[in-house]
Homo-oligomer: A and B are copies of this chain.
Amino acid sequence: MVRPGGRSARVQRSVHEAVRDLTAESGRDALTVPLIAARAGVTPSTIYRRWGDLQELLSDVAVERLRPEAPPEDRGSLADDLTSWAELFLDEMASPAGRAYIRDALLGDPDGSNAGQCSAYAAEQIDAVLSRAADRGEKTPEVEMVIDRVVSPIMYRILFRPTGLDAAYARRLTAEVLDDGR
């Protein structure tokens, strides 16, 4: 039984807020469950019971922060829309903060649902860009193809090869998928 307006919701909000505040103040390495609990005004056992451990809590907070805040900007053409989305995506994800969120999201995620949520966010944004282009009458690649050809290489490099990532790489990947897919 979910009680979205009640005490549970208040606790969830204050705990998430405490994580964000303490991360900003002292860095994520300084985070501990008792610290977060004290800041949030709850007892540690509440956090342990609801989230299991620190990593799962951080994973929750990370996914929340990786949620896109607005649909991709409309620049008038598929090529422009997709290219600028990919540049922005790379930029956000490859930043130190972005990398930290990705790691956290993957880390405390026993069943993969948080990671799946991240992927779903990207798919939504891409789908918005492609649908808009289709409405304009442009021929578009499949969402799956954009994920395989643009999102995957970017994420792979972020996770496994921390060097050589820049906007030009995002542009090249986008140009290639548009050449092949429409």
Name A residues whose Cβ lies closer than 8 Å to a Cβ of B: 103, 106-107, 112, 115-116, 118-119, 147-149, 151-153, 155-157, 159-162, 173, 180
How many chain copies? Answer: 2
Task: Please tell me if the beta carbons of A160 and B156 are within 8 angstroms of each other in the complex.
Answer: no
Task: Please tell me if the beta carbons of B160 and A115 are within 8 angstroms of each other in the complex.
Answer: yes
* CB pairs A–B below 8 angstroms (21 shown): A103-B107, A106-B159, A107-B107, A112-B160, A112-B162, A115-B159, A115-B160, A115-B162, A118-B160, A119-B161, A147-B153, A148-B152, A148-B156, A148-B173, A149-B149, A149-B153, A152-B152, A152-B153, A152-B155, A152-B157, A156-B156
- Bound-state Cα–Cα, A103 to B103, Å: 10
**Shortest distance in angstroms between A62's beta carbon and chain B's nearest beta carbon?**
13
Closest B residue, CB atoms, query A115: B160
